[in-house]
Amino acid sequence: MVLDIVQLGSPILRQMAREISKEEIGSKEIQGLIEAMKETMRAAPGVGLAAPQVGVPIKLAVIEDRVELIQGMSSEVLEERGRRSVPFHVIINPTLTVLNDEKVNFFEACLSVTGCSRVTPRAKEVLVECLDENGDEKTFKATGWYARILQHEIDHLNGKLYIDIADKKTEILQNEENRARWFNASSEDIAMYLKERGL
Ligand code: ZN
């Protein structure tokens, strides 16, 4: 079942989501929610979706960077973004620790803030501790685009959005022209873009 994605302005996007217990994770409700969120994320399409985005204020997010989504990108672009496919997985009650605070700037967007995109600084490497869909404890490191996705989704669970840390002067509309120009923009092009705007 494809769920409706809550849009900017809805208070649920600004709430701190609550943690869920291992017992809850095993429930039909939560397992059904995970399936529906997977379907919703794929339909969007997106690389991550947090439960508050479908109106459920709990600390759960689904993540997947499918091969199909990155197929059209050049190897230079993939290399620069540190972007590679990430299999579907679920993060529950996550905590995030920044391992390398060097900031990386790329255009970022959100399924709850449709139509626009802004340059968003994200830490280069993070460590995530969480539970998975079976309630098992997981700890893993991530770099590049995957680290960006994790920072974006875990922010959602704490009532934060990428527009809180991106500079609004860098906002572009997600139209065809901008997609062609910025989708594959190199970090050098983005550095120039920021410089032109005095950022
Ligand atoms: Zn988002």
Both structure tokens of 160: 């934060």
> What count of other Cβ atoms lies within 10 Å of the Cβ of residue 184?
16
Return the bridge partners of 123, or none.
103
Q: Is 3 exposed, middle or buried (0-12, 13-18, 19+ CB in 10 A)?
A: middle
| Six token digits for residue 19 | 């943690």
pTM of the model: 0.95
How far is the centre of ligand 1, averaged over its atoms, from the C-alpha of 30 (Å)?
A: 20
What pLDDT is stored for residue 149 in this prediction? Answer: 98
Of the residues 80, 125, 133, 153, which is catalytic?
153
- Which portions of the chain are predicted below pLDDT 70? none
Q: Give the Å distance between the CA of 102 and the centre of ligand 1.
A: 22
- Rounded to the nearest 5°, which phi and psi values hold at 59? -85, 80
Q: How far is the CA of 48 from the centre of ligand 1 (A)?
A: 7
pLDDT tens, position by position, 93-146: 999 999 999 999 999 999 999 999 999 999 999 999 999 999 999 999 999 999
Question: In terms of C-beta density within 10 A (0-12 exposed, 13-18 middle, 19 or more buried), how is residue 139 classed?
Answer: exposed
108 in active site: no
Give the pLDDT score at 129: 98
Q: Tell me how far the alpha carbon of residue 100 lies from the centroid of ligand 1, in angstroms.
A: 22
